[in-house]
Amino acid sequence: MTALKIGLKVDTFLQGICLIILFIGLVTQCYDGDENLMMYAFVALGAVQILSACIFSLTLDDSKRRRHLMYSMMYFALFPIVLSIGHSLAFKIGELFEMGYVFSYRFIGLYWVGVPIFLGLKYFRFTIRDMTKVNTLHRSFWDI
């Protein structure tokens, strides 16, 4: 139980640091147009969450984290398909509104950035909930 508490605290701390850096990168990108900090924070957050999901799903047999791994693998597997088919389809739809390339790049950007943000925040919520459950377990005298 103590290893689980420590693991969840370390995991939450690392994810929180990555999310703070991601937010700082987002704010600075708005002012100077440099998205390098945000890109590095995305990669670090994804790596921390995938590693955490692998460790916790194997050691705890946690179905939520196994599902997160499956969704992450589906994201990477579907990315080339979305990139090729989605770009041409979004371009055709954008041509109807005379915004061909603009519409298609926004669609790709939504998939490139929006889906990882959704997956990352959902996994962070799983970790926070599990840490709260583990830290608020009330033990009786007989559990000692």
Confidence class for position 56, pLDDT limits 50, 70, 90: confident
Whether the pLDDT of residue 24 is over 80: the answer is: yes
pLDDT for the residue numbered 96? 58
**Spatial contact of 22 and 41, defined as CB atoms under 8 Å apart:** yes
Report the candidate in 39, 37, 40, 46 with the shortest Cα–Cα distance to residue 15: 46
In the chain, where the domains are located: 2-136
Measured distance CA(94)–CA(131) in Å, rounded: 45
Give tens-digit pLDDT for 110-123: 777 778 888 888 88
pLDDT for the residue numbered 82? 73
pLDDT for the residue numbered 23? 82
**Spatial contact of 42 and 116, defined as CB atoms under 8 Å apart:** yes
Whether the pLDDT of residue 30 is over 70: the answer is: no
pLDDT for the residue numbered 11? 86
Share above pLDDT 90 across residues of the chain, in percent, rounded to a whole number = 1
